[in-house]
Structure 1
Amino acid sequence: MRIRALTLVLALAHCVPVFAQDYPSRTITLVVPAPPGGATDVLARVMADEMGKRLKRPIIIDNKPGASGMLGAGAVARATPDGYTLLLTHSSPIYYTQYLFTKMAYDTGRDFAFITEIGAANLVLAVNKNIPVHSVKEFIGWAQKNKGKVNYGSFGIGSGSHLLSAYLSDSYQLDMSHVAYKGEALMTQDLISGQIAVAIGTPGTMGPHLANGSLRALAIMGNQRQAALPDVPTMPEAGFPDLEYQPPGGVLLMAPAKTPAPILALLEKEARAAVQTPAMQTRFHAFGIVGIGNSSVDFRKNYDASGPMIQKLVKVSGAKVD
């Protein structure tokens, strides 16, 4: 009996390496917790094409929008950890929802394997063209003179635009009023028309309006300038080094926890190579995203380090979702 048990243990020990050597042997599904057509979906499709070529297997997209991205993320968290169901997501269901929602269907740190951060989508602080300011410091001075009269927009309660604007208002006692919109497009329209004075949005959406002068960019919310807005300083360059002005945000690649290490290593290698391709770089530029393609170790370190800062942003904003 002992000999048979030992034989079984040895056989099982060899299953994972053999399985990993055969991977992938069939189609891979890339779950995207966003509707078709948006930046996350478009990047996912280019990424799927580039990785599919390298892995010599097709990668199909499965759009699962809903619940701030938690619907799609939850589906991957519960999927079989065999490397055939992956998650390509924006940052909300990974970094932010756990601090905003009172109930979660998954534990981010426990239920996912971190593969790579594909790119960083740093937001931009912008004002209506008629606001007489050209820097963050000038804006704060102007808002203090108009204390309690300034409205800021966001593309949803608990969104990055909401949390960052609330933090700026609280830090300098600006008493700005929050106007939440159902999406960035509506917010941007009202910023252009002057219904709101200031907002934080994506370079991809605001870019054309910044170029034609309808809006004026004051700073990039991060520590790296955007190629699409090379003359716009980062918040640290503008004199605001708080880590809260450099929040995590972007496009992430993940797998279910307990996916075999050899499979994760292969996915990390090919994903990081795909990030460097001309096709991905072209899309990054179009959406105002900075390509990263870091290691899984660095990705996990960034995630672990972000917790206290995000908790602080959420607390200051007062945002909470049942």
Structure 2
Amino acid sequence: MKRRHLVLSAGLAPALAWAQTYPAKPVRLVVPFPAGGATDIFARALSQKLGDKLGQPLVVENRPGAGGTIGSEVVAKAAPDGYTLLLATSSTHSIGPNLNPRMPYDAVKDFTPISHVGNAPSIMLVPNSTPARTLKEWLDYARGNPGRLNYASSGNGTIVQLTAELFKAQAGLFIVHIPYKGTALAIPDLVSGKVGVLFDSLPTGLPHVRDGRLRALAVTSAKRTAMAPELPAVAELLPGFESNTWFGLYAPRALPPDILARVNAAANQALAEPDVKDKLARLGIEPVGGTPQQFAQMAAADALKWKKIIAERKITSD
């Protein structure tokens, strides 16, 4: 037994030493979306401080394509040594796998969840000509006029459409879907009243409210957001309603536990920094943090929620 113990200890020693010296070189942070987009800007806001906490720089690498699938696959197939990380979103790990059964990766089995780093809620926008001035008034109006209202989205299978369909399901509404190629193209028709409602991202939608072009009725986070504290959460009238674009750090599967703990701790520390919080607030993103287990549970629940909506509403992607 003693000899066996020595052999096992000798085998574990290199792995332990490797984990203790991690990271010994720069770490690659793959962003599966184009440069300049929300996920990319978030990655750059987080990467410098996260690199400081780890003691090595994080090099952001954009690998866009196929709705985030290409970059995610790169990480899924990388070595689980902590030197390749992924900044994923609900699109790559909750929604995409439920819309496309032929994904080149398994969103659960092929990754190690590290940290739920942020949430970006949406804002419910309506034309100024809408007679309703509160969410309750709007719900009463919509329920009294089934089929006469429509909603805009940024395309079939997007978080914008899914949020609206979740809202319809929980509120018991009949509203017609009008897909656009991006929410920016829908704004003029929303302003003119050609479409009746849009669940836009908070940072892009709020300026239209501030300049008086549109009216905001609510936000889709579970609670009110600091970016627009005057707006109620939809959940105040529809208990349990929540829709966020979430952001999370992943590594390839089988990441050593010591390295997982190190990156998770560094991420939590970085998210707590005031300048990181300020940068994220300007993006409409609320920092989260927490344990890998909490992140895995949240992602699983989110995927299940969208799976149900996609199936019930027969939603497909463009």
TM-score interval w.r.t. the shorter chain?
over 0.9
Determine the structure 2 residue equivalent to 1:180. Answer: 179
Aligned to 2:293: 297
Q: For 1:170 and 1:298, how far apart are their aligned partners in 2?
A: 27
Equivalent residue number for residue 138 of structure 2 = 139
Contact 2:94 2:300 in 1 (8 A): no
Cα separation, 1, equivalents of 2:280 and 2:87? 15
**Aligned partners of 1:185, 1:48: CA distance in 2, in Å?**
28
Q: How does 1:36-55 map to 2 (within 5 A)?
A: 36-55=35-54
Q: Percent identity?
A: 33
SS where residue 312 of structure 1 aligns?
A: helix
CA deviation after TM superposition for structure 1 residue 186, in Å: 1.9
Q: More displaced, 168-177 or 224-233?
A: 168-177
Take 1:84 and 1:193, find their aligned partners in 2: how far apart are those partners?
50
> SS of 1:121's equivalent?
strand
Segment of structure 1 superposing worse, 152-161 or 182-191: 182-191
Counterpart residue number, 1:109: 108
- Given the two structures, how large is their TM-score scaled by the length of structure 1? 0.91
Query: What is the count of residue pairs matched by the alignment?
Result: 316
**Residue aligning to 1:121:** 120
- Which runs of structure 2 are paired with 1:1-322 in the superposition (5 Å)? 9-172=8-171, 174-237=173-236, 239-241=237-239, 243=240, 245-321=241-317
Which deviates more, 162-171 or 6-15?
Answer: 6-15
How far the C-alpha of 1:148 sits from its partner, in A, is 2.1
Alpha-carbon offset, residue 171 of structure 1: 4.7
Q: What amino acid maps onto 1:105 in structure 2? A: P
- Aligned amino acid, residue 207 of structure 1: L
Contact between 1:99 and 1:311, CA under 8 Å: does it hold in 2?
A: yes
Contact 1:46–1:279 (8 Å) recurs in 2 = no
Change (3 A) 1:174 1:6: closer
Q: Which runs of 5+ in 2 are unaligned?
A: none
User: Any stretches of 5+ residues in structure 1 without a counterpart?
Assistant: none
User: 1:301 aligns to what SS in structure 2?
Assistant: helix
Using the TM superposition, give the Cα deviation of residue 163 of structure 1 relative to its aligned residue in structure 2, in angstroms. 1.3
| Structure 2 counterpart SS, 1:313 | helix
Using the TM superposition, give the Cα deviation of residue 65 of structure 1 relative to its aligned residue in structure 2, in angstroms. Answer: 1.6
Q: Determine helix, strand or coil for the equivalent of 1:126.
A: strand
Cα distance change of structure 1 residues 45 and 172 upon mapping to structure 2, 3 Å threshold: closer
Contact (CA 8 Å) 2:93, 2:303: kept in 1 or not? no
**How many Å apart are 1:170 and its aligned residue?**
4.3
Q: 2-side partners of 1:274 and 1:210: how far apart?
A: 32
**Greater mean alpha carbon deviation, residues 33-42 or residues 168-177:** 168-177
Instruction: Spell out, residue by residue over 1:22-51, the C-alpha distance to the aligned partner (whole angstroms, 9 max, x if none).
Output: 111111110011111122111101211101
Describe the shift of the 1:302–1:240 C-alpha distance in structure 2 as closer, same or farther (beyond 3 A): same
